[in-house]
């Protein structure tokens, strides 16, 4: 993980003990996790990071593009280390939360054209496709 370090200048991120603990915990996970579940995991590992600090670190990492952020069915933000270094989208299982990162050039082109047609510039977008993964669909079919 690349983290900008500084003596505290505005806009720069300090690589604190808490931030390193959060980064290590996220790096050990494959699936998305909520802030509260991550906080519980940190406590289990013996890392002393407050819930408020966990929220702030996740927000900062998200703003720096280090994390993928999705919304659970109940609207809670869930986080995962971003495996891709570039803009991408997600296919997410509604049942188990498994997520696949997708590259979608056609979506990128469509978003750009649509924005331009309506006079928008500096456009950003997120696409999240939900459904049942193969494993959950098979379990559902089995009864």
Same domain, 31 and 74: yes
CATH number of the domain that 10 lies in? Answer: 1.10.10.10
The answer to the question of whether 93 is labelled as a binding residue is yes
Same domain, 7 and 26: yes
How many residues are recorded in the chain?
143
Helices 17-27 and 51-63 sit at what angle, rounded to 10 degrees? 70
Region 49-67 average pLDDT: 92
Same domain, 97 and 57: no
pLDDT in tens, 68-126: 888 887 889 999 887 666 677 888 888 887 888 888 888 889 989 999 999 999 887 77
Same domain, 24 and 52: yes
Same domain, 78 and 43: yes
Predicted confidence at residue 62, as pLDDT, reads: 87
Using a 10 angstrom Cβ sphere, with 0-12 exposed, 13-18 middle and 19 or more buried, the burial of residue 92 is buried
Predicted confidence at residue 91, as pLDDT, reads: 85
Query: Residue 89 is part of which domain span?
Result: 85-143
Both structure tokens of 30:
């494959």
The answer to the question of whether 89 is labelled as a binding residue is no
Q: CA dist 36 to 33, 72, 94, 115, Å?
A: 8, 13, 20, 36
Q: Do the Cβ atoms of 100 and 31 come closer than 8 Å?
A: no
Same domain, 72 and 142: no
The answer to the question of whether 86 is labelled as a binding residue is no
Same domain, 30 and 60: yes
Q: Is residue 41 pLDDT above 50, yes or no? A: yes
Of the candidates 44, 66, 83, which is a domain's last residue? Answer: 83
If one counts the domains in the chain, the total is 2
Same domain, 11 and 76: yes
Same domain, 8 and 74: yes
7-11, 50-54, 100-104: which range is least confident on average? 7-11
Same domain, 123 and 62: no
The answer to the question of whether 96 is labelled as a binding residue is yes
The answer to the question of whether 118 is labelled as a binding residue is no
Residue corresponding to tokens 């703003």: 63
List the alpha helices (DSSP H) in 1-126. Answer: 17-27, 35-44, 51-63, 105-117
The answer to the question of whether 125 is labelled as a binding residue is yes
């Amino acid at each position: 993980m690349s983290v900008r370090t500084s003596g505290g200048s505005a806009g720069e991120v300090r690589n604190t003990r808490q931030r390193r603990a959060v980064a290590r915990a996220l790096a050990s996970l494959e699936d998305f996790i909520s802030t509260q579940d991550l906080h519980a995991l940190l406590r289990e590992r013996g890392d002393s990071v407050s819930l408020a600090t966990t929220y702030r670190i996740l927000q900062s990492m998200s703003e720096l593009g280090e994390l993928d952020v999705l919304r659970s069915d109940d609207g809670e933000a869930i986080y995962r280390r971003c495996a891709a270094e570039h803009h991408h989208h997600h296919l997410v299982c509604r049942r188990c939360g498994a997520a696949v990162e997708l590259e979608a050039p056609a979506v990128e082109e469509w978003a750009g054209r649509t924005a331009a047609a309506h006079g928008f510039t500096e456009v950003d977008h997120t696409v999240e496709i939900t459904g049942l993964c193969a494993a959950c669909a098979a379990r559902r079919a089995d009864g």
